[in-house]
Structure 1
């Protein structure tokens, strides 16, 4: 953790948690790429800062621990507002509903503010909650807060349901590196050999890893398979118990938290995403970038990402449908080389890390309107 001079542009990032997840992984990518150009102050509503382990030594950042009162959307408004007056950052960046109290603290406006939406928890997987709709309309709409969204689906929700002006809602695609060399798994894509199904996810309800485990237990009756679950979270014990109940605990490896989860992608033959809700999942893009075929639920922007890559690999967010899709994908190994080639091309054209960094640099610099829609 390294502090920088006050002459740097100071950004206050407000997260619900700074455990490693999609928004946190993207922030780490950006901070490492932009180096000492900014000073980052990070606050987390749970005072957990594990993702900071992935920040490089050249990043000037500070984890600011706070006394957080639990149990109310406005419980901490006064204390947070006082801190905004004290710190006077050049820009406040709030991430998702879990940091909405910081939007409340900046109402009326104390400092420039950009809000970021990446997606929803299980409570909003299938419908928007009325109370949250109104709070977003008031705190973000009335305070004229620009919003960055990670998917076209979120862009539609923000303008259509939350009724925020289109001019203040900008889509910035998540981006990942495109490795110079792809995985060469062609020889192992053979029905006579054991294949590895893998996923990278926080073990939370909305990721529905239980759906993947149940599907794995079904298809392994026909196929020789093992599975790797990269990630940790509150459901880990429950998921390990489910694997044992289904008699597949010996074929599933739960890695727990990894500082660099992408290191295990080399072990995957097939990437699986079984979520009930997603927007533009970075783990999916990373798997496509290194040349791994995927099977995924048709949620958020996932259907748009895969529609011209491997439409056969898409499934409704339903257990029976996911089993059917996984079985079909395993039967379609002759198509995997074509899918992976198209997937890498899609990532290169639409979801490159270079494009993402340049657009976020404009956000960090307060040049929000320069981002193309």
Structure 2
């Protein structure tokens, strides 16, 4: 049995938290003993329940202000000493910054940290500190090979620390039929209405204003709607932009939801407009649902999608290109169906959930029992 502790910023209903729930469930089936330490008390019941159902204990440290004041950080060290894990893995910004020194001070045998995207929004003090502590990690997991060079050049990762483990996804299309009608009924959509949109945090990185501007270029007489699932600091700005573009009656902002699978099933086209990414789980889930995907050609999306074969990759920020591709898929539903079929096949063949679980199992076992590497 391998004993692992995961340190994460919070248990909110975001992509990394869903990834963690999948990972914990998979490792539980392989006999792991696991705990999660969350730095912020904010959490979502469904994420917690998924962890509890896999036999995973949860320790809450407190608010970030306490951590930065020192008291909370010491509680993190004490918690690690009490749990006595063989391996610790940190994920997300503050967990990386605070978890690395805590794990080493607590005497943990193996430390794994992760870089899941180009962390361009970090303040300068945090970037400096993270460069100083990255060498304390035994391994650094990247979820996309396209961000390895960023990690080495900007965060001080050494080549021998690099491990690339793409995110994994399960087949979601088996439940599409029943979910599609159920969730479209919740929106009051007639069968002929075409629904396109995205599942994403409403922040500047995701660049969802581009989607609204592209939609404005579509024929107004067509029965289409835009669905955005997620929340964030850009919500008010997107609502105002939608109103300014005359899209208020076509724009649906659902906020954060835990039933993402159902809303994906309700869509006809998935659009991903991010300026940068690691390995975007939302795109993977859309492909696993069999949706045609139109996405920015950035970082991990270039690993997921073969342009023109299993989706469309477009220059980031190109409103006209996005409008043209969405227009084409609406006009040719048979082509959209073929694109979705190929996307479904590719993502399950190359990025199945079992592959991800096996890769993490190999990583942890190689660190705590080196002779098994």
Same fold per superposition (TM over 0.5): yes
Corresponding residue for residue 341 of structure 1? 341
Structure 1 Cα separation of the partners of residues 346 and 147 of structure 2: 20
Q: Which moved more, 1:325-334 or 1:315-324?
A: 325-334
**Relative to 1, partners in 2 of residues 1:140 and 1:56: Cα closer, same or farther, differing over 3 Å?**
closer
Corresponding residue for residue 183 of structure 2? none
Q: Which moved more, 1:311-320 or 1:16-25?
A: 311-320
**Relative to 1, partners in 2 of residues 1:148 and 1:317: Cα closer, same or farther, differing over 3 Å?**
same
Structure 1 Cα separation of the partners of residues 317 and 295 of structure 2: 11
**Relative to 1, partners in 2 of residues 1:161 and 1:238: Cα closer, same or farther, differing over 3 Å?**
closer
Structure 2, unpaired ranges of 5+: 178-190
Structure 1 Cα separation of the partners of residues 215 and 67 of structure 2: 40
Secondary structure at the residue paired with 2:361?
A: helix
CA contact (8 A) 2:173 2:288 kept: no
Corresponding residue for residue 13 of structure 2? 20
Structure 1, unpaired ranges of 5+: 1-7, 185-191
User: Could you tell me which of 150, 153, 158 is aligned with 1:157?
Assistant: 150
Structure 2 Cα separation of the partners of residues 289 and 222 of structure 1: 31
Corresponding residue for residue 79 of structure 2? 83
User: Could you tell me which of 55, 63, 75 is aligned with 1:60?
Assistant: 55
Corresponding residue for residue 118 of structure 1? 116
CA contact (8 A) 2:7 2:91 kept: yes
Structure 2 Cα separation of the partners of residues 198 and 162 of structure 1: 33
**Relative to 1, partners in 2 of residues 1:237 and 1:162: Cα closer, same or farther, differing over 3 Å?**
closer
**Relative to 1, partners in 2 of residues 1:303 and 1:216: Cα closer, same or farther, differing over 3 Å?**
same
Corresponding residue for residue 224 of structure 2? 225
Structure 1 Cα separation of the partners of residues 80 and 52 of structure 2: 27
Secondary structure at the residue paired with 1:254?
A: strand
Corresponding residue for residue 189 of structure 1? none
Secondary structure at the residue paired with 1:115?
A: strand
Corresponding residue for residue 197 of structure 2? 198
Deviation, structure 1 residue 25: 0.9
CA contact (8 A) 1:115 1:146 kept: yes
**Relative to 1, partners in 2 of residues 1:286 and 1:59: Cα closer, same or farther, differing over 3 Å?**
same
- TM-score, with length taken from structure 2: 0.81
Alignment of 1:63-212 (within 5 A): 63-70=58-65, 75=70, 77-99=73-95, 100-107=97-104, 110-111=107-108, 112-120=110-118, 123=121, 132=126, 134-141=128-135, 143-179=136-172, 181=174, 193-212=192-211
CA contact (8 A) 2:66 2:73 kept: no
**Relative to 1, partners in 2 of residues 1:250 and 1:346: Cα closer, same or farther, differing over 3 Å?**
same
Aligned length: 351
Q: Which moved more, 1:262-271 or 1:151-160?
A: 151-160
Secondary structure at the residue paired with 2:13?
A: coil
Secondary structure at the residue paired with 1:19?
A: coil
- The alignment status of 1:259 with 2:258, answered yes or no, reads yes
Corresponding residue for residue 31 of structure 1? 24
**Relative to 1, partners in 2 of residues 1:146 and 1:369: Cα closer, same or farther, differing over 3 Å?**
farther
Deviation, structure 1 residue 9: 4.2
Structure 1 Cα separation of the partners of residues 301 and 86 of structure 2: 34
Structure 1 Cα separation of the partners of residues 112 and 362 of structure 2: 12
Deviation, structure 1 residue 206: 1.5
Per-residue CA deviation, residues 177-211 of structure 1 (Å, 9 max, x unaligned), is: 12464868xxxxxxx95311021112233122222
Deviation, structure 1 residue 121: 5.2
- TM-score, with length taken from structure 1: 0.81
Deviation, structure 1 residue 299: 1.3
Q: Which moved more, 1:258-267 or 1:325-334?
A: 325-334
Structure 1 Cα separation of the partners of residues 67 and 26 of structure 2: 36
Deviation, structure 1 residue 222: 6.2
Per-residue CA deviation, residues 296-344 of structure 1 (Å, 9 max, x unaligned), is: 1111121232235548722222153433443454455443233223212
Per-residue CA deviation, residues 106-149 of structure 1 (Å, 9 max, x unaligned), is: 3457212110221145626xxxx7655543332122x2431111
Larger helix share, 1 or 2 = 2
